[in-house]
Amino acid sequence: MSPADTPWKGKEVLVVDDYLAVRKTIKELVNSLGMVTTEAENGLKAQELLKARKFDMIITDLVMPEMDGFELTEAIKNDPALRPIPVVIISTHSDSKYIFRALRLGADDYLIKPPTAEMVSIILTRIFDHDW
């Protein structure tokens, strides 16, 4: 499927990770699927961006300084204006306690690093293709 054929073409995604190389990798994956990305290096910066503009989805790391992915997810899902935005956690932590905590806080999905285009496509299809 080419980016022109995807139901998520042009969607705005906020990528939140404290490592530039990881943000770049996720950005390249998401952009290759026809989406537009904005980057933030932690949850506090992400919150500033969320106050200033609308995003269709957030992909956030779990472990970050200042405000981690758990805190960011909880803040988003506790804000009625932001609650509808899908949040996908991406982390090296594959232990079920991290996954369950993220999902309990309202995360819509959880990816284990490193992400692949196939993994991201599956999640995007689940989130944006509502014909199922």
pLDDT digits (tens, 9 = 90+) for 52-105: 999 999 999 999 999 999 999 999 999 999 999 999 999 999 999 999 999 999
Out of 3.20.20.80, 3.40.50.300, 1.20.810.10, 3.40.50.2300, select the CATH number for domain 8-128. 3.40.50.2300
Write the CB contacts of 67 (distance below 8 Å, at least 6 apart in sequence): 42, 43, 44, 46, 47, 75
Does residue 117 surpass a pLDDT of 90? Answer: no
How sure is the predictor about 132, in pLDDT bands with cuts at 50, 70 and 90?
A: very low
| Confidence at residue 130, expressed as pLDDT on a 0 to 100 scale | 57
Phi, psi of 53 (to 5 degrees): -155, 170
The proportion of the chain whose per-residue pLDDT surpasses 90, expressed as a percent, equals 74
pTM over 0.75: yes
Does residue 131 surpass a pLDDT of 80? Answer: no
CB-CB neighbours of 104 under 10 Å: 11
